Structure 1
């Protein structure tokens, strides 16, 4: 175990045990209405699945640059990044591959049909209102991709009295940020407009290690710009229409090859999303929502020419009907269209496919019992139909103490790139079959406890993933270098603990994960995943001050599937302080990686050194 991890191990474990033994949250958090667990509104205290909510207050206090950092800091997932804030980023939810987590931004699917999964580096955090993280398979509710879980991101809300929110920040590495928003309503129309920008000279993101092909001793900076617009209208009692527009742009430097030290390599990524929705409350029992969403992920490198564009369109009708007290039926119909523009595709550089789906769910609660059943059928134009289902149950043993459990399956459709390039199956060859969907089968069991001021959860799970697609040996495709194949299986199992407590005015929140994500055929750990992870966050109010600290700790990992290249464990300490200059004006200080630990989540790439940021935020009521 590394010295960095040892340095935080004892206090982290001690405080975590304290948090889990006497965990306490404000009761109003359990009354928070969430939608990700069932795709319909539900109080957090009633959710049977393993769900985490990250609030706007958490986001402002931690002052991170991306959603990926936010999830890592709050114990929701492991993060791997090839350098700075604009570099390729992966998130492993319960040890599942990054492509096995479905990502929604205001209900719009975000995906890349070239690399597979969402481009995490292209999702900003400055304009986010809250994040809901659902752990465990959810294809019976959302369809493809949700083998490991679902991350749903909600941008700033519209409505209310006219208000504004402005922030500026300066930091080390020549970092400067600015953001602003205007929120309010005029009659039946409400609105939220936000803009944000961030620029930094960055740090040297590559390491001079044996076998490194890209080490160049320079700084790799980035530029990020984001904008959102949300317009809503109450058309009639119980009927609401809403339009959401999102635009994100990143221009980041990277080192492509140490043989070209004078070349300034850049990645340029544009991530856009649009959603139009009509929510209708037809009666006290019946509610529906009709929505159309589309997203675009455009990724380009220069001067080395590479361009890939993914477009996703989604038309959905969802709703719920309350049969009686404690009984509800959910229903959904959906069409998803994927398009990839990539020069590697054999079909003139453009590939398309679509999926049609129908699904239903039944929610029941009576006395101490809670039951849920969800089922869905997806019909894909390229590989056929897939049926998925999830069954959940909960029983309240004593007031505030509930045992929960679930079984379910999930799938991830092969990407258009995996099927449509020279590396995809060549069906003209004898015996060669199309790629099949990757499939997961999950079983989990948990305990949840809360009282008027407290909350605790412990979840044990086992998820077997089959038909994993890897880049394997040549022979089944047109390429002599290798082919995509359904040949691997993974076993993801572990125990997740989460809790919070308040001790002498200090709020403590802790998570601990004991996991073993392995290749089922060899028993070796999956690449870049640790067996043990932990986080601890604390904050307290002292007069006009709010003081906070956070710790992220990870055990050692292996960079490769053969488990021969070891990456050391680490422990990072982040500090923050906020001072209220007036009711509307706040000064904030953030010091991340306070002890300047050298860490690496991917071989040959460095993580951020100690960074300091000074922010000023003004939030007036107009």
Structure 2
């Protein structure tokens, strides 16, 4: 009842507020696979720019997502250890991760190890909250996170390095150049840290070392045809505390070639690529050649046609084809499957009314087929106020481990399915911009590992549970006295409908306040976040905590900048998962030389 009262109170306050001038346009592409003004998209979309990345000097991708409403995360140790992202209360494997439009991750785990990504390789991130399976297929129940790699103009460059707590050292370099008429960007990064003890059971420092290199380019052939390409290689190793293995190497790569034919009102797009995710566990007396090995290779082909019927209506038709192959040190009954997806989408505007619709059919070999759709209807009170009602369905296909693991796979599993209804309000007042979303998500056929029978010590995955997630996301942004302010709030009620228990590791409340101030050559910023209590496995409780992060930078001239950072400045002792430690106070210094 209190939560319903809060819904009404916030909505009433927003609808009675005055309107300000039209906001500056920010263009996004992830929400509907067509380029749109962010404000006109009938979904909650957050954009993290290169300027944001430089401002907070992140060690991991989750540092970048911390200020985003509707997103919480758990790190089982440091920046390189297992990280789970929960978007709008959904499971961490119910969020789709894309890199430059390509699907990445492990088909055995059923998700991307996002901790493997280096922030210095990132140019921009688009975070779309809410179901997008009608355009992307499996996994996009909670939302989509698309990461765009570095993209510099010819003759632009940057060099950077830093050092901080836990003997953490890093470097990065990127440069844009022309070659035979093509435009290219090459980027390289490396990081090494002694880390800290991930658990108290094995009190030693669990360090990591990682590096990445990427190449991205494009070539224009006349006025109509263009080609583009990208390649990314990530390599690293990290320590963790485990009774069996306690070290892991990873090697991931992504290559993609695309071509675009821009015919004016019609744009044709074709992409072909391959992503590979390889994890090798060892340690505790186990050699690399004798440890666990899990490798996923995804060969993918994507084609679509976008047609602007007129200035107000755009339609997209497309197909995504995948061949997923896995290789494992454990014997597996089936090691390959194909996934075919065909979709259609429409965005339109008539006067003050807006509409979005999408439908998709997916066929997953050896599993099932699914049809998903999204429908959105919106109304613009003015150029600066938009309200919409959104409905979408989604699904998550079982992973290879779920289906075929020699330790208890279940080939009778069906995909997890979901439906979500959302009320979305966007607006700009005289002093503040607002985005408010209230949503309800129901998920059926949740896959959980459970005993084969009561008293049986053998476990197997089963479509055992269902869940209901109710939530509110709120973002307020303003500029007062030359200080940029942002307040985000996440209220969540995520319940397993079968057991009547809270879904684990999801705080019911998260609040973040961030501020930044620039004066002459100085820039100072910081954020304060609060996460409420949460439940963990076997009835354990995760206690609430608050974190304070501060950042400062001084630009000596247009090319050279020195920045300092301090994370967890209050030195809070907290845990996102029972039994795992997190970093205490961390401070460091970075330097950047760039010519743009």
Q: TM-score, normalised by structure 2?
A: 0.93
Q: Within 5 Å, which residues of 2 pair with 1:434-445?
A: 434-445=412-423
Q: Which residue of 1 aligns with 2:297?
A: 311
1:61/1:576 contact within 8 Å kept:
yes
Q: 1:351 to 1:187 in 2, by over 3 A?
A: closer
Q: Which residue of 2 aligns with 1:268?
A: 249
Q: Which residue of 2 aligns with 1:574?
A: 549
Q: Within 5 Å, which residues of 2 pair with 1:315-330?
A: 315-330=301-316
Q: CA deviation at 1:134?
A: 0.6
Q: Within 5 Å, which residues of 2 pair with 1:558-569?
A: 558-560=535-537, 564-569=539-544
- 2:164 matches 1:178: no
Q: CA deviation at 1:20?
A: 8.7
Secondary structure at 2:42's aligned position in 1? coil
Q: Which residue of 1 aligns with 2:58?
A: 64
Q: Within 5 Å, which residues of 2 pair with 1:188-587?
A: 188-207=181-200, 215-257=201-243, 265-282=246-263, 284-303=264-283, 305-347=291-333, 351-423=335-407, 434-450=412-428, 454-474=432-452, 481-560=458-537, 564-587=539-562
Distance 2:434 2:116 in 1: 33
2:172/2:188 contact within 8 Å kept:
yes
1:110/1:295 contact within 8 Å kept:
yes
Please give the per-residue CA displacement for 1:421-473, whole angstroms capped at 9, x wherever unaligned.
2355667xxxxxx2101001000001110268752110000110001111112
1:94/1:148 contact within 8 Å kept:
yes
- 2:132 matches 1:138: yes
Distance 1:486 1:40 in 2: 35
Q: CA deviation at 1:75?
A: 3.7
Q: 1:572 to 1:21 in 2, by over 3 A?
A: farther
1:425/1:484 contact within 8 Å kept:
yes
Distance 1:316 1:509 in 2: 38
1:20/1:498 contact within 8 Å kept:
no
Please give the per-residue CA displacement for 1:229-280, whole angstroms capped at 9, x wherever unaligned.
11211122132211100011121111213xxxxx993111112111111111
Distance 2:155 2:431 in 1: 33
Distance 2:140 2:20 in 1: 30
2:67/2:488 contact within 8 Å kept:
no
Distance 1:120 1:23 in 2: 39
- Residue 121 (structure 2) aligned to one of 117, 127, 136: 127
Please give the per-residue CA displacement for 1:309-353, whole angstroms capped at 9, x wherever unaligned.
111121010221111221111111111121111233433xx6111
1:30/1:45 contact within 8 Å kept:
no
Please give the per-residue CA displacement for 1:298-317, whole angstroms capped at 9, x wherever unaligned.
11111271111111121010
Q: CA deviation at 1:73?
A: 3.8
Q: 1:408 to 1:306 in 2, by over 3 A?
A: same
Q: CA deviation at 1:584?
A: 0.5
Distance 2:15 2:556 in 1: 37
Distance 2:443 2:149 in 1: 32
State which drifts further: 504-513 or 112-121.
112-121
Q: CA deviation at 1:403?
A: 0.8
1:23/1:499 contact within 8 Å kept:
no
Please give the per-residue CA displacement for 1:211-243, whole angstroms capped at 9, x wherever unaligned.
xxxx12211111010111112111221322111
Q: Which residue of 2 aligns with 1:588?
A: 563
Q: Which residue of 1 aligns with 2:34?
A: 40
Please give the per-residue CA displacement for 1:11-41, whole angstroms capped at 9, x wherever unaligned.
xxxxx99x99999999897412211110111
2:23/2:384 contact within 8 Å kept:
no
Distance 2:343 2:103 in 1: 18
Q: CA deviation at 1:567?
A: 0.8
Q: Which residues of structure 1 form unaligned runs of 5+?
A: 1-15, 208-214, 258-262, 428-433
C-alpha RMSD of matched pairs (Å)? 2.5
2:361/2:372 contact within 8 Å kept:
yes
Secondary structure at 2:403's aligned position in 1? helix
Q: Which residue of 2 aligns with 1:156?
A: 150
Q: TM-score, normalised by structure 1?
A: 0.89
Distance 1:514 1:265 in 2: 37
Q: Which residue of 1 aligns with 2:5?
A: none
Q: 1:548 to 1:20 in 2, by over 3 A?
A: farther
1:22/1:454 contact within 8 Å kept:
no
Q: Which residues of structure 2 form unaligned runs of 5+?
A: 1-9, 284-289
Q: 1:366 to 1:437 in 2, by over 3 A?
A: same
Secondary structure at 1:45's aligned position in 2? helix
State which drifts further: 456-465 or 38-47.
38-47
Distance 1:295 1:194 in 2: 18
Distance 1:165 1:255 in 2: 37
Distance 2:165 2:15 in 1: 39
Aligned residues: 579
